[in-house]
Structure 1
Amino acid sequence: MQTNQTLSLPNMGCGTWAWGNQLLWGYNESMDDQLQQVFNLCVNNGVTLFDTGDSYGTGRLNGRSELLLGRFAREYDGINKNNICIATKLAAYPWRWTRKSIISACNASAKRLGKNVDLVQMHWSTANYAPWQEVGLLDGLADLYEQGLVKGVGLSNYGTKRLLWVHKRFQERGIPIKTLQVQYSLLSTYPVTELGLKSVCDDLGIKLIAYSPLALGLLTGKFSENGNFPKGVRGILFRQILPGIQGILGTLQSIANSRNKTMSQVAINWCICKGTIPIPGAKNLEQAQQNLGTLGWFLNDGEVAELDNAAAKSEKKMVQNIFQTK
Structure 2
Amino acid sequence: MRKVSLGQSGINVSRLGFGCMGLAEFYGEAVSNNEAEKILEAALDRGVNFLDTADMYGSGRNEEQLSGFLKKHREDVVLATKFAFQRGEKGELLGMSNDPKYIKEACDASLKRLGVDVIDLYYMHRRDRNVPIEDSVGAMADLVKAGKVRALGLSEVSADTLRKANDVHPIAALQSEYSIVTRDMEAEMIPACRELNVALVAYSPLGRGLLTGAYRNESDFGKGDYRMMGNPRFSDGALEKNVSLVDQLAVIAEEKGVSLAQIALAWVVAKGDDIIPIPGTKKISRLDENIGALNVNLSATDIAAIEKAVPPEEVAGARYPESRSSTLNA
Q: TM-score range by the shorter chain?
A: 0.7 to 0.9
How big is the shift at 1:28? 5.4
Q: In structure 2, what is the equivalent of residue 86 of structure 1?
A: 79
TM-score (norm 1): 0.83
SS in 1 for 2:296: coil
- Establish whether residue 234 from structure 1 lines up as the match of residue 192 from structure 2: no
Partner residue of 1:140?
A: 139
Is 2:281–2:287's contact at 8 Å kept on the other side of the alignment? yes
Alignment of 1:157-168 (within 5 A): 157-168=156-167
Residues of 2 paired with 1:187 and 1:95: CA distance?
Answer: 28
Aligned counterparts, 1:1-326, within 5 A: 7-12=10-15, 15-25=16-26, 26-27=28-29, 31-57=32-58, 62-76=59-73, 82-93=75-86, 94=95, 96-115=97-116, 116-127=118-129, 130=130, 132=131, 134-168=133-167, 170=168, 175-192=169-186, 194=187, 196-224=188-216, 228-230=219-221, 234-235=227-228, 237=232, 238-239=234-235, 240-246=237-243, 248-275=245-272, 276-312=275-311, 314-317=313-316, 319-321=318-320, 322=325, 323-325=327-329
Contact kept in structure 2, 1:124 and 1:157, CA below 8 Å: yes
Matched AA of 1:106: C
In the alignment, structure 1 segments of 5+ residues that lack a partner are 1-5
Cα–Cα, structure 1 residues 83 and 68, in superposed 2: closer, same or farther, change >3 Å?
A: same
- Distance, in Å, in 1 between the alignment partners of 2:245 and 2:313 is 7
Aligned length, in residue pairs: 299
* Superposition CA RMSD, Å: 2.4
| Consecutive unaligned residues in structure 2, runs of 5 or more | 1-8, 87-94
Per-residue Cα deviation, 1:17-55 (whole angstroms, up to 9, x for no partner): 1112453344456x3222211111111111000000001
Residue 251 of structure 1 contacts residue 306 of structure 1 at CA under 8 Å; is this kept in 2?
Answer: no
Per the TM alignment, residue 134 of structure 1 is displaced from its structure 2 partner at its CA by: 4.6
Moved more, 312-321 or 247-256: 312-321
CA contact (8 A) 1:87 1:121 kept: yes
Q: Classify 1:176/1:188 alpha carbon distance in 2 versus 1 (closer, same or farther; 3 Å).
A: same
Whether the 8 Å contact between 2:23 and 2:282 is mirrored in structure 1 is: yes
Matches of 2:141 and 2:317 in 1, distance apart?
33
Per-residue deviation at 1:313?
5.7
Contact 1:220/1:264 (<8 A) preserved: yes
Identity of aligned residues (%): 28
Distance 2:138 2:17 in 1: 28
Q: TM-score scaled by structure 2?
A: 0.82
Classify 1:82/1:104 alpha carbon distance in 2 versus 1 (closer, same or farther; 3 Å): same
Secondary structure class of the residue paired with 2:62: helix
Q: More strand by proportion, 1 or 2?
A: 2
- How far residue 200 of structure 1 moved from its aligned partner, in angstroms, is 1.3
Partner of 1:3: none
Is contact 2:123-2:153 (8 Å) kept?
Answer: yes
Name the amino acid aligned to 2:151.
G
